[in-house]
Amino acid sequence: MIALSLGVAACGSSSGGGGSSKDATDIVNTAFQHPIKAATLALNLNATLNGIAALNGPIALQLTGPFESNAGKLPKFDFKANINGGGQSVPLAIRSTGDDLFIQIQGNWYELGKDAVAKLNDQIAQQRSTGTAKGFSAFGVNPLSWLKDAKTADDTTVAGEPVNHASATIDMAKLLNDLNQIVSKANVSGTTKPPQLTEQQKQQIQGIVKNPRIDVYVSKKDQTLRRIAADINFNIPQDQQAKVQGLKGGDVKFSLEFSNVGQSVDVSPPANAQPLSSLSGLLGGASALGGSSSGSGSSSSNGSSASGSPSTKQVQEYAKCLQNAGTDANAIQKCASILSK
C-alpha cells in the first residue's frame, strides 16, 4: 500500500530545506522498507480545474478511517468519504470485515455478499501463494530513480509524531519510461493490455506537468511513513483544450496521512444492509446483476424519499445519467438535479 501511494503521488509540493540528496533519498527509501499493517488514514484530494465553469469551484475528496491488513484476504477497514463538486456534496462509506464488503450510499447500506468476497479472497490468497502479486522491482523499476534534486527539509511532526522530512523533484521522463516498462511486462489475462505511451505523448505530458515535487514524512520512532503530500500544477496548450471540454489547466493537491500506526481494527457489519443487486442501476443495469431495485423507507409517487433524502430509484437514475454524460461537464452538472426532485 505504501509503495502504491508513493507511485501514485510521485509529484508534489516542497517546503524548503537544504540537506544532502543521499539523506533525503534514504528517508524516502525507508517508506518502502517499513510497510504499515494497521493505522488510521486520512486522504485529501483537491482539484481546481480552470476553464470548466460548470464545475462551479474545486472538486474535493476526503476519506478517513482505520484499516488493518489481513494476510491472504481483503483488508479490514471502515472508511468514510465525502465528495464535493459542482455545488453538490455526496457522502459515502465503505466497510470491510475481511469476509464481507459493504458500501453506504445516500444513507443506505448495501452488501456485496460473503460468497462474492470469498471468491475475491481466494484470488488474493492464490496471488500471495504463487507470488504473482508483483511489486515495482519485479518489473525492473526502482521508484527512487524518479527522484532528483532531493533534499532534507526541516523536521516537524505529523499527528503528534516527530518525523524526518524529505522533498524532491520528480524526473517525469524517467517516470514515464518506467511506466511503459511496467505495461510491457505486465501479465494481463482476460483483457487487452493497455497501450504504451508514444514518444509524442510523453513529450506532451512533460510539457503539461511542470516541475512536479513530492514531500515525504517518516516517523523517527518506528521508521514508517506518516505523510506523503503532492501539489501538481499543469497547463493545457490552447490547441488541445477543446479535446478536454475546454480545460485550460489547474492544480491538484494530494495528501495521505497515517496515525494510530499499529493499532488493531475491529470492524462489524452494518445493520439492515440490502443486497448490492438493489443498486443495479449504479453498477450497469438490472440485467447485469439479475436483480431489481428497491429503496428503503416510504416513497412518494415521483420516487423521492418521504424523509427528504433521495430514494434508491433517484440514485439509480442519477448513476445512469452520469454514465450517459461521460466527460461532458455540463451534462454532469444537470444530473445533480435528479437527487433534489
Q: What is the arithmetic mean of pLDDT over 230-256? A: 89
For the segment 163-178, what is each residue's pLDDT rounded down to a tens digit? 999 998 888 888 999 8
pLDDT band at 276 (very low <50, low <70, confident <90, very high): confident
The residues, ordered by sequence, that sit 6+ positions from 56 with a Cβ below 8 Å of its Cβ are 86, 87, 333
Q: What is the pLDDT of residue 341?
A: 56
Q: Is the pLDDT of residue 86 over 60?
A: yes
Q: What is the pLDDT of residue 228?
A: 93
Q: What is the pLDDT of residue 191?
A: 59
Q: What is the arithmetic mean of pLDDT over 243-249? A: 87
Q: Is the pLDDT of residue 108 over 50?
A: yes
The ranges assigned to domains in the chain are 273-341
Q: What is the pLDDT of residue 280?
A: 58
The residues, ordered by sequence, that sit 6+ positions from 41 with a Cβ below 8 Å of its Cβ are 63, 64, 65, 66, 67, 256, 257, 258
For the segment 19-39, what is each residue's pLDDT rounded down to a tens digit? 667 788 888 888 778 889 999
Q: What is the pLDDT of residue 143?
A: 80
Q: Is the dihedral of CA 112, 116, 117, 123 positive or negative?
A: negative
Q: Is the pLDDT of residue 79 over 70?
A: yes
H helix or E strand, kind and range, residue 218: strand 213-219
- Give the highest mean pLDDT range of 113-117, 135-139, 332-336: 113-117
- Residue 219's SS3 state is strand
Question: Hey, what amino acid is at 313?
Answer: K
The better pLDDT of the pair 85, 67 is held by: 67
Q: Is the pLDDT of residue 206 over 60?
A: yes
> In DSSP terms, which residues pair with 170 in a beta bridge?
147
Q: Is the pLDDT of residue 91 over 50?
A: yes
What is 12-65 written as a DSSP string?
---------HHHHHHHHHHHHHS--SEEEEEEEEEEEEET-GGG-S-EEEEEEE
265 near 76, Cβ under 8 Å? yes
Angle at CA of residue 278, ends 276 and 283, nearest 5°: 65
Q: What is the pLDDT of residue 134?
A: 58
- Predicted TM-score (pTM) of the model is 0.70
The better pLDDT of the pair 63, 280 is held by: 63
For the segment 40-61, what is each residue's pLDDT rounded down to a tens digit? 999 999 999 898 877 777 899 9
Q: What is the pLDDT of residue 93?
A: 95
